[in-house]
Amino acid sequence: MKKLTLEELKKIKEKAQSDLQARSPEGKDKIVVHMGTCGIAAGARETLLAILDEIEKRNLQNVVVTQAGCIGLCEYEPLISVQKVGGPKVLYKHVTPEKARKIIAQHVINGQIVTEDVLSTE
């Protein structure tokens, strides 16, 4: 198989140009994965990868994923927060890759908070 080159990114850009302009991070649902030492040791990288995988597979255009550091709740790591546009910011605890996939399907896509995994809501 021929290896991918960065040149091929240009094609993706051209294809997506029109809708890239229409979108801005402000109007998007936001997922934050906490990546302090405690988070990473508890498996935050794998959680993040599962989230990115769902976004890629389901082609979710309206979600943006970022990272943040430790927030002092190390015993609940991996922690992620989900904020849908206009909705509350929900902090989820002990988010394994499986839980992350469930949160994407149930909360991010269908707007139903996964109550049993919630640590706090603001």
Partner 1 sequence: MKELSLHLLDLIENSIEAGAKNIFIEINKNKEKTVLRIVDDGKGIPEDVLRDITNPFTTTRRTRKVGLGISLFNEVITNCGGKLNIKSKVGEGTELISEFPSNHIDLPPWGNLADTIYALIVTHPEINFNFKIKTEKGSFEISTEDIKSKLGGDNSFFDPEVIRFIKSYLNQNLGGIGI
The contact mask relative to partner 1 for 17-36 (x = CB under 8 A, - = no) is: x--x---xx-------x-xx
Q: Residues 108, 62: contact at Cβ < 8 Å? A: no
Q: Is position 119 an interface residue for partner 1 (rule: CB under 8 A)?
A: no
- Residue 80: CB atoms within 10 A of its CB come to 25
Our CB check for partner 1 shows the closer of 7 and 116 to be 7
Using only C-alpha atoms, the chain has a radius of gyration, in whole angstroms, of 16
Three-state secondary structure readout of 28-93: CEEEEEECCHHHHHHCHHHHHHHHHHHHHHCCCCCEEEEEECCCCCHHHCCCEEEECCCCCEEEEC
Q: Which of 18, 22, 59, 86 binds partner 1 (CB under 8 A)?
A: 59
The verdict on 38 binding partner 1 (CB under 8 A) reads yes
Which residue number, 12 or 122, has a Cβ lying nearer to partner 1? 12
Binding residues for partner 1 (CB under 8 A): 1, 3-10, 12-13, 15-17, 20, 24-25, 33, 35-38, 40-41, 45, 48-49, 52, 55-56, 58-61, 64-67, 69-72, 74
